[in-house]
Chain A
Amino acid sequence: MTILVIAEHDNKALAPATLNTVAAAAKIGGDVHVLVAGQGADAVAEAAAKIAGVAKVLSADNAAYAHQLPENVAPLVAELGKGYSHILAAATSNGKNILPRVAAALDVDQISEIISVESADTFKRPIYAGNAIATVQSNASVKVITVRATGFDPVAAEGGSAAVEAVGAAHDAGISSFVGEELAKSDRPELTAAKIVVSGGRGMQNGDNFKHLYALADKLGAAVGASRAAVDAGFVPNDMQVGQTGKIVAPQLYIAVGISGAIQHLAGMKDSKVIVAINKDEEAPIFQVADYGLVADLFEAIPELEKLV
């Protein structure tokens, strides 16, 4: 068995989710190859070659792959993937965008967002907003799988010395083009990889009040997240949303501030090691999953918390 892992990157740096995906591949067993499809992504290929347990890195460097357009990347992955037993990608917006196209091109089904590997053909994945865990067995000739990063501890980023092999194939479908992007800039750790996450909900009342959470987060070295209510109300941008339709996180510590704890929000954070809820409504459902609950006015509790940590 040989497994192909699609690297998650922005042409400059390898995203940490790749390490969790390689960890899932290692659980399946067999040689692990990593594909870096991009443009001018030499640094990414070099980083991928250093990942512990990676046997080979395939580097497809072409203008057609610069923005990871699925119309161009999926045919490449499908072509290379034919010889592999499994094709894995992180369940990021990129991975989820590309991989179903790969599966359709190979005429196989895809298994989405696995959280554990039971055997080479059997996997566990959450369904119904995480309210049930399904065990599925696949008889597909090539198993095409997205991996939920929080289900697997990352492998070491250093220690490997894989060879980098250039792949010439260029696929440019010519049916889509990149127009532009607007990426949020933040000095705080990335939400899905942070050890501590501080999240605010509707109880924050407005966007300006998030400064209290930013101050606390900076003190803790934490990332800042939000509930759907806070995003819909325009307090913060939508890439900060934690939940079924946003990001899935499982940090060591999750501090939910002014968040009631709807099913859809819990789906994105209930695998956190320790959950703290700060809410003035003692009936809020968030207290049912919290390890430590504090019934208090957040505008008093947060500044005090910031002082004491």
Chain B
Amino acid sequence: MKVLVAVKRAIDPNVKVRVKADGSDVELNGVKMALNPFCEIAVEEAIRLKEKGLVSEVVVVSVGTSAAQEQLRTALALGADRALLVETSALLEPLNVAKYLSKVIDQEKPQLILFGKQAIDQENNQVGQMVAQLIGSGQATYASAVNHVDGQWVVEREVDGGSQVLALAMPAVVTCDLRLNQPRYASLPNIMKAKKKPLEIIAADTLGASVKEHARLLGVVPPAVRKAGINVGSVAELVDKLKNVAGVI
């Protein structure tokens, strides 16, 4: 059985983001990039399924510029067998990414497609669901446990009020939440070995996806700054402020 994991090169989660002075976008020049944290969890889950003997091959795929090879190598160092880069310098609108990925899925025919639940840069939380629709698969988003029972994927999901369990026919799309697993670190020998693993580059326009442009970014501004607060000396003073100044209790 084959699992395909979609990964994204995104800003490092520990970087404090700054808006460009001209308000056109956020500053990404010279900023540290990394594998999106939720994609790391998806890669880890694929490797664990392989270690359990459920899966024979783990293929990672990314859509983006050639710089994303770095993140694919990271995934290979973590234990993926093979990597694919759908290369494009176009702006990555979720539907277009989903269309490219669905073409790759048509070729690779995996039984499970893993995603992170969202990328921490654009925070769209869309691509996994869109791919599921495009390939006609069932989906389980926000997964906190993935099991294989009687030819189906049985997935526990995090939902607003608690948790929910779904069973999905194969192939299925699963998007991974924070608590699915704790991703491992790549060891130095594995980082060296990853350099020799196959990484195929596919030009996006050779996939025959009917991409289009839907959204235009008009500008970006920093969030409103809260006015400086005050420190209170005691609980009694705090209660007084909340009652008599803020009027919230």
A275 contacts which chain B residues (CB < 8 A)? 226, 229
Q: Report B78-120 CB contacts with A as 1/0, cut-off 8 Å.
A: 0000000000000001110010000000000000000001101
Known contacts A126-B123, A176-B167, A304-B235; decide if A238 and B216 are in contact (CB<8 Å). no
- Chain B interface residue count, CB cutoff 8 Å, equals 79
Interface membership of chain B positions 164-196, coded 1 if the CB is closer than 8 angstroms to chain A and 0 otherwise: 111111001000011100000000000000000
Query: Which residues of chain A come closer than 8 Å to B197, judged between CB atoms?
Result: none
* Smallest CB separation, A108 vs chain B (Å): 6
Interface string of B224-240 (1 = CB under 8 A from A): 00100111101110110
CB pair A196 B248 closer than 8 Å: yes
Q: Which of A74, A100, A173 has a CB less than 8 Å from the CB of B126?
A: A100
A301 neighbours in B (Cβ, 8 Å): 235
A136 within 8 Å of B by Cβ?
Answer: yes
Residue from B11, B122, B164 within 8 A of A178 (CB atoms): B164
Q: Among B13, B164, B230, B249, point to the contact of A181 (Cβ < 8 A).
A: B164
A292 to B230, CA, bound (A): 5
Alpha-carbon distance between A176 and B155 when the two chains are bound, in angstroms: 11
Residue of B nearest to A301 (CB): B235
A235 to B220: give the CA distance in the assembly, Å.
Answer: 38
Using A181-B159, A275-B229 as known contacts, say yes or no to A137 and B168 having CB atoms under 8 A apart. no
Stretch in A26-34, A42-50, A89-97, A153-161 touching the partner: A89-97
Residues of A within 8 A of B26 (CB): 127-128, 131-132
Chain A residues 216 to 247 lying within 8 A of chain B, measured CB to CB, are: 220, 228, 231-232, 237-239, 244-245, 247
A175 touches B137 (CB 8 A): yes
| Smallest Cβ-Cβ distance to B210: which chain A residue | A107
CB neighbours of B93 from chain A (8 A): 109
From the candidates A238, A247, A292, name the one contacting B238 in the complex (CB within 8 A).
A292
Residue of A nearest to B124 (CB): A112
| Chain B residues within an 8 Å CB radius of A196 | 248-249
Which residues A91-118 have CB closer than 8 A to chain B? 92-94, 96-101, 103-105, 107-113
Q: Are A104 and B159 in contact (CB under 8 A)?
A: no
Within 8 Å CB of A304, what residues of B?
A: 235
| Residue B161 interfacial (CB < 8 Å) | yes
5 tightest A-B CB contacts, nearest first: A176-B138, A100-B129, A109-B214, A104-B133, A100-B126
27 A-B pairs in the complex with CB atoms less than 8 angstroms apart: A71-B138, A74-B133, A96-B141, A97-B129, A98-B129, A101-B133, A103-B130, A108-B95, A109-B94, A122-B218, A127-B123, A132-B220, A132-B221, A132-B222, A132-B223, A134-B219, A139-B214, A176-B139, A176-B166, A181-B164, A183-B162, A244-B123, A270-B226, A292-B229, A292-B231, A294-B235, A305-B239
